[in-house]
Amino acid sequence: MLLPSTVLLSIFLAPAVNALWPLPQQLTTGSTPLRLSNGFDIKFKGINNPPQDLKDAVSRTEKFLSNDKLQALVADRGASSASQIQRAKQLTSLVLSLDSTGGHHKRAADATANTNSLGNKIKSISDEAVAPIGQRSEGYTLTIPADGSAAVLSANSTLGLFRGLTTFSQLWYDWNGNTYTLQAPINIADYPKYPYRGFMLDTARNYFPVDDIKRTLDAMSWVKINTLHWHVVDSQSFPLVIPGFESISQKGAYNSAAVYTPQNVKDIVSYAAARGIDVLPEIDTPGHTSIISKAFPQHIACPEAAPWSNYANEPPSGQLRLASPDTASFTAKLLSSAASLFPGNTFSTGGDEINQNCYADDDKTQKDLKSQGKTFEQALDTFTQTTHAALHKAGKVAVVWEEMALDHPVTLRNDTIVMVWISSENAAAVAAKGYRIVHAPSDYFYLDCGGGGWVGANTLGNSWCDPFKTWQRAYSFDPVANLTASQKDLVLGGQQLLWTEQSSPSNLDSIVWPRAAASAEVFWSGPGGDSAKALPRLHDLAYRYNQRGVRAIALQPQWCALRPGACDLTA
């Protein structure tokens, strides 16, 4: 996407707007200093009884404005602007309003319902966040005059207002207790290029406490990421407590404290939704399920068989006995119960890295295949149809990894969402089959690559997806590369991913941030940005994250961060 020249000029010639990430679709700025008054507040106009999560979002924004205290990333940290700041006019308020054209709002059922001034029912941020993909309204307009008159943030949804509050909180710096910008007036009209902007966290290889997940959700919301893809269980551990199947987590979690109870899940899902984030859970099937054998051994083929490399992509081996009708029914019930914990309308059944050696050496599976007169692929098709039918009955859209669309002739519903992970080049083949796509390619978006091989007895081993995936690499991604014009609409968006064989709470922030912000901008603003020109804004974001308690890593020496462009190879 080519940005208007006014946008490029206002961003790249004006350090004070280097804070904005992701880049708005339309942005114009001036050169007048403006500061927030001591009594600055955020008000509602024409919104009767605002939803509580919107009021909470306003409160958080006001705290950011008071507590960020981020000095401008220039050599003198803003000292040379002190006199301008002191003389600047003061902004006393930001007014939030909902457009009367918000057609997705239904008429209020009674006089006590939350309404805007026209009587239209107002949905909460949380309700808007879990609407089906493509039905969420996230756009907003923001106007900040230079004369000190009220700034106005307008949207046709509370979710849009929340996105605008996020942008507003990024605009300001601190000098000697004054919260200011040097670039009023500021006018922004903004909306996402793609409806799905995600981050995947694996909590099975290593366990992450609820507080770490919440901090990650906060950080995601600050760059308008709207989906947590929660790879919650795997072969190594099963921390999710599923009603009716509690014995799996009792026997399959690392310990009794390393679990996510239904109340934990409700807490995480509610916390996410209030920050404009939907939770997409994943229970991978039929592979990556060895741990289920601890509670239900009858359903798992080749549990912990050795050598593991013959039977799985990583230890321990073990897969659901897909040819068994009893196992298919068990899995369908398991997924249905798990799905009831999550209000969003998507649920991933995985489907990656199925190892046929495991089934070839499993007597029970071979007997089932023979008695049914089925091949492995036919059994996989039946298994998939059974499990996906259960999810569909529960009101969920199935999400799968790319193998289910490309490597196995299974029957998938037309609305199935396919995550492309093995290679970015495989997106075209998925699109050719007509499925909607979420980009998650290991050659661009895997945050765990480049850390060295994690399996033992492999002294000189590298990670399978070397090299390290830099933020610049992710930022260069083109979501519609090699797609035809008619296929481009199949792209829902994309995400960066953290598989956690070598990650834990101790390095969560540093391995994710600010790198994961790269894809957040690609799928909000659109591709084609210049990483050299984006770097000052990403520095600013990382510094602001640290001010807010997220330990984002440094991208360069501070000397470079304070002197945009001075450390470029061409400088």
Distance CA 561, CA 540 (A): 8
> HSE-up of 32 (CA within 13 Å, CB side)?
15
Instruction: Determine whether 32 is exposed, middle or buried from the number of CB atoms within 10 Å of its CB (0-12, 13-18, 19+).
Output: middle
What was the pLDDT predicted at 118? 45
What was the pLDDT predicted at 99? 85
Active site residue 304: no
pTM: 0.94
Residues 113, 115, 118, 121: is their CA dihedral positive or negative?
A: negative
DSSP string spanning 452-493? ---SSS-TT---TT-S---HHHHHT--TTTT--TTTGGGEEE
What is the distance between the terminal CA atoms of the chain, rounded to a whole angstrom?
Answer: 27
Question: Tell me: the pLDDT tens digits for 525-566?
Answer: 999 999 999 999 999 999 999 999 999 999 999 999 999 999
pLDDT tens, per residue, the chain with 571 residues = 344 434 433 333 344 456 899 999 999 999 999 999 999 999 999 999 999 999 999 999 999 999 999 999 999 999 999 999 999 999 999 999 998 543 333 322 223 345 554 456 899 999 999 999 999 999 999 999 999 999 999 999 999 999 999 999 999 999 999 999 999 999 999 999 999 999 999 999 999 999 999 999 999 999 999 999 999 999 999 999 999 999 999 999 999 999 999 999 999 999 999 999 999 999 999 999 999 999 999 999 999 999 999 999 999 999 999 999 999 999 999 999 999 999 999 999 999 999 999 999 999 999 999 999 999 999 999 999 999 999 999 999 999 999 999 999 999 999 999 999 999 999 999 999 999 999 999 999 999 999 999 999 998 899 999 999 999 999 999 999 999 999 999 999 999 999 999 999 999 999 999 999 999 999 999 999 999 999 999 999 999 999 999 999 999 999 999 999 999 999 9
Answer yes or no: are the C-beta atoms of 230 and 280 closer than 8 Å.
yes
What was the pLDDT predicted at 19? 82
What was the pLDDT predicted at 460? 86
Please give the domain boundaries of the chain with CATH numbers for all domains: 11-190 (3.30.379.10), 196-526 (3.20.20.80)
Q: Which residues pair with 51 in a beta bridge?
A: none
Q: Which of 62, 246, 353, 501 is catalytic?
A: 353
Question: Tell me: the pLDDT tens digits for 99-129?
Answer: 854 333 332 222 334 555 445 689 999 999 9
